[in-house]
């Protein structure tokens, strides 16, 4: 213990410590100072601002003055560009008996790690705020898309002219793409992303995407006389597991990029086939092609060859979609001869699910109570359910719906999740407290699944995401019929 003294402790502190006189001249310093700021030569006699800040005169933000004025230690943080690190500087005044400044002890601490933690926390708070904003926007957009898609579905049920039916199908595809975009907004700030993978027939997917792209090609022909000709070589039974909307967006992006690469028009060849356990998708154009330098950067975020007309997110997003589907993407191109993208995905032996047509012998008319704070959502929902043969009572107020339920008999309750008076979960809980066996369907404008939230599982039987299709609502109602036996119609 004979070597343990105050001077030894000071010498072994990792903080930089300098003793300076009232003229900022360094008198003494510890080993950390020597290690950081000296090069085998003494800094005693030099000014502290010369050594620590590499300046020729006292620092404007020197903590000594505010410390003397306030009587409290006032630290200052700054970035030392020589080291690329952040430091906190404190000055401890040394006063004489008559309260005259004799000098000060200057302590410098590296706070880079602290800065990183603070920055990370600020970033997380920023992302959380963005998440809250985007979540609200996404909910509102999904409600609007529900109104659009619902009326499209109702028009399709009226068996319109084939040309009108084709237009309705294009609107439906556009709404589904909008739904996927909204889900991307919701996923932006979520660490755990839901995977709603289904079995997808690539042939049918490509046909839908090409149909969606045709209006753009027709517009180019009408305005500039440019002909873009798609050539399809699509094999049957080439199925993969994936997210239909994400894949549709990615392929649409690639077709539009191919169109932009053919300013004078040309041919886009799209082919699919199965080989060695993989589904192969190739998209080839006869455009201007790319240099090797561009090919190497094509999947980099924010890289673009379109100048102000592009933000460079397209192919990097395509790359992300392919990776999320456990796939690979390669590009080959020659200047003046066009470009070919080859996408490879694990082949699925399963076939796309086909919703069963519910026969009349299995149909049971239900007395349904529906609540949503958007009247156009209730209008679409009610019209669809009545066409199925059910009786529907709707409410814009959650309180009114609960009162109605307590006074009358219903076979099924459908409730929106986000409502101003009370949430759909609260509505479901009150409904279940009156009749535990009643099935409850939750309509949600947010991306969610019942199995991901235990509080939902306890009171909700089925979750249907907005915007919903006729088939999704019909299937949800059918499944609810299997959950509980009907108790008769409202009296």
pLDDT tens-place string over residues 327-346: 999 999 999 999 999 999 99
Alpha carbons 179 and 319: distance in angstroms, whole number: 20
401 and 477 in a common domain = yes
80 inside domain: yes
Judged on CB neighbours under 10 Å (0-12, 13-18, 19+), 10 is middle
Taking the CA atoms of 262, 268, 274 and 276 in sequence, report the sign of the dihedral they define: negative
CATH of residue 393's domain is: 3.40.50.2300
116 inside domain: no
Alpha carbons 368 and 231: distance in angstroms, whole number: 49
Q: Considering all CA atoms of the chain, what is the largest pairwise distance in Å, rounded to the nearest integer?
A: 104
Nearest 5°: the CA angle 438, 442, 446 is 165
CATH of residue 168's domain is: 3.30.565.10
Q: Which residues pair with 342 in a beta bridge?
A: 282, 330
Does residue 109 sit in helix, strand or coil?
strand
Query: Tokens 């309750």 appear where?
Result: 413
Q: What token pair was written down for 415?
A: 């409730």
288 and 169 in a common domain = yes
pLDDT at 177: 65
Kindly give the parts of the chain with pLDDT less than 70: 1-6, 119-139, 176-177, 179-197, 301-314, 353-363, 446-455, 484-491
pLDDT tens-place string over residues 303-330: 555 543 433 346 877 888 888 889 999 9
pLDDT at 358: 54
339 and 380 in a common domain = no
Range of the domain at 89: 6-110
Q: What token pair was written down for 441?
A: 């369907």
- Contact status, residue 239 vs residue 199, Cβ threshold 8 Å: yes
Alpha carbons 258 and 264: distance in angstroms, whole number: 12
pLDDT at 312: 36
Alpha carbons 415 and 444: distance in angstroms, whole number: 9
* Residue of 143, 172, 207 lying closest to 381 (CA atoms): 143
pLDDT at 3: 61
CATH of residue 48's domain is: 3.30.450.20
pLDDT at 311: 35
pLDDT at 463: 87
Overall pTM > 0.85: no
340 and 439 in a common domain = no
Domain count, the chain: 3
365 and 334 in a common domain = no
Final residue in a domain of this structure, among 346, 377, 412? 346
């Amino acid at each position: 213990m004979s070597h343990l003294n105050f001077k030894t402790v000071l010498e072994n502190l990792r903080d930089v410590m300098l003793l300076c006189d009232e003229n900022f001249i360094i008198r003494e310093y510890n080993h950390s100072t020597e290690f950081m700021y000296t090069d085998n030569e003494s800094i005693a006699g030099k000014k502290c601002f010369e050594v620590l800040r590499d300046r020729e005169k006292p620092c404007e933000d020197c903590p000594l003055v505010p410390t003397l004025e306030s009587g409290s230690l006032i630290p200052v943080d700054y970035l030392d560009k020589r080291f690329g690190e952040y430091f906190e500087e404190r000055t401890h005044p040394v006063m004489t008996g008559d309260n005259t400044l004799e000098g000060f002890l200057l302590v410098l601490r590296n706070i880079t790690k602290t800065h990183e933690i603070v920055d990370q926390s600020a970033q997380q708070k920023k992302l959380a705020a963005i998440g809250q904003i985007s979540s609200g926007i996404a909910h509102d957009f999904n409600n609007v898309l529900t109104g659009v898609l619902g009326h499209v579905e109702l028009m399709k049920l009226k068996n319109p002219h084939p040309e009108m039916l084709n237009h309705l199908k294009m609107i439906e595809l556009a709404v589904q793409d909008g739904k996927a975009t909204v889900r991307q907004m919701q996923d932006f700030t979520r660490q755990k992303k839901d995977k709603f993978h289904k079995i997808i027939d690539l042939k049918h997917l490509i046909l839908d995407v090409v149909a969606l792209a045709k209006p753009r090609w027709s517009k180019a022909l009408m305005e500039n006389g440019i002909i873009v000709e798609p050539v399809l070589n699509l094999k049957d039974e080439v199925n993969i597991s994936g997210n239909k909307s994400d894949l549709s967006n990615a392929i649409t992006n690639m077709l539009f990029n191919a169109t932009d690469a053919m300013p004078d028009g040309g041919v886009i060849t799209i082919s699919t086939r199965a080989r060695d356990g993989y589904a192969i998708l190739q998209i080839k154009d006869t455009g201007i092609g790319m240099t090797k330098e561009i090919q190497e950067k094509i999947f980099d975020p924010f890289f673009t060859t379109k100048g102000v007309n592009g933000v460079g997110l397209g192919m990097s997003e395509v790359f992300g979609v392919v990776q999320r589907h456990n796939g690979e993407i390669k590009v080959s191109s020659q200047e003046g001869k066009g470009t070919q993208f080859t996408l490879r995905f694990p082949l699925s032996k399963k076939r796309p699910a086909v919703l069963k047509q519910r026969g009349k012998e299995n149909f049971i008319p239900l007395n349904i109570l529906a609540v949503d704070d958007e009247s156009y959502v209730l209008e679409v929902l009610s019209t669809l359910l009545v066409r199925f043969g059910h009786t529907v009572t709707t409410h814009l107020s959650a309180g009114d719906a609960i009162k109605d339920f307590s006074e009358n008999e219903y076979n099924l309750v459908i409730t929106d999740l986000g409502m101003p008076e009370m949430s759909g979960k609260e509505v479901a809980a009150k409904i279940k407290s009156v009749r535990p066996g009643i099935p409850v369907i939750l309509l949600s404008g947010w991306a969610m699944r019942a199995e991901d939230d235990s509080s939902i599982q306890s009171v909700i039987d089925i979750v249907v995401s907005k915007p919903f299709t006729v088939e999704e609502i019909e299937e949800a109602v059918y499944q609810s019929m299997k959950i509980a036996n009907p108790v008769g119609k409202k009296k």
